[in-house]
Amino acid sequence: MLYAIIKRQEAISRFLLPHEADLKRLGIENPYMFGSIALGDAGENPMSICFDLCRLEPNMNRRAFLDLSKSLAAAALVTAAAAPTHAADVDIDAILNDPEAPSEGNPKGDVTIVAFVDYNCPFCKQSAPDLDRIVRTDRHIRLVYKDWPILSEASVYGAQLALAAKYQGRYAAVHHALMSIRGTGIAKETMSAAVAASGVNMGRLQADLDTHGEAIAALLKRNLAEADALGLEGTPVYLVGPFKASTLDYDGFKQIVANARERQAGH
């Protein structure tokens, strides 16, 4: 049932997140840069995104440019058809302070990062180590996870495993285990094996899935509704204070956190 709810989001993501092999076939050598442009600049003129990408990817040929232009134009049409909710409908407190949403870092941190992620998203996996590092080294960041499984049915399964592990205090262990699986299109069996290897009590995990299944589904639906209200179109998305970003490395996280602090200080 939950998987059916995310089908529209998955359709959008198919346009915004082409498969890495397809990008390389088109002559695009840096698929992660594509993810950053397509997601970070969502809503901009598709052709301007293409020109930016061609500037960064000199090996892209003319045919690839035209193919990519069509894909991004289609993405813009799908996004427009989705009719995201107006900002007035965004409940900021619910996004920042859902008591069921897992969190890490400093609970009294002066900057909060809200991470919308999917365990089958290669860009989420690309950024995950640097996100962990900035939270660990800064020591004043509160990190809130929004499991947003929009890419596949297995993504929903992974999110359910991670959220069930929360009831035995092992959400972080499962989250990091799932983010450490290389590649995309990860099967449920592979996810289960990675979770078991993380040291989670699998018997307890299954019991918590059975007992708290409705609460987990309700949280995932709230995350989906919040993403819709914000007009989000693909993973990852990082809300950092008043800023929104996609795929970032450590320096990118460091800079956007500094910008958030400057904005809070009134600079």
Residue 47 vs residues 5, 67, 70, 76, 87: alpha-carbon distances, Å:
31, 11, 9, 11, 26
Mean pLDDT of the chain: 78
Lowest mean pLDDT among 63-72, 149-158, 206-215: 63-72
Residue 164, Ramachandran bin (φ over 0: left; ψ between -120 and 50: alpha; else beta): alpha
Helix (H, G, I), strand (E, B) or coil at 17: coil
Distance between CA atoms of residues 232 and 228, nearest Å? 6
CB atoms within 10 A of CB 219: 22
pLDDT in tens, 165-198: 999 999 999 999 999 999 899 999 999 999 999 9
The predicted-structure confidence for 43-101, as pLDDT tens digits, reads as follows: 444 433 443 443 344 444 444 444 544 444 444 333 333 333 344 578 999 999 999 99
Instruction: Give the neighbor-by-neighbor strand order of the sheet with 141-147.
Output: 103-105, 141-147, 111-117, 237-240, 243-245
Predicted TM-score (pTM) of the model is 0.70
Question: What residue segments make up the domains of the chain, in order of their start?
Answer: 2-82, 89-262
Cβ partners under 8 Å of residue 173, min gap 6: 165, 198, 199, 200
Class at the top of the CATH hierarchy for domain 89-262: alpha beta
Give me the residues paired with residue 117 across strands.
Answer: 147
Q: Strand locations in the chain, DSSP E?
A: 103-105, 111-117, 141-147, 237-240, 243-245
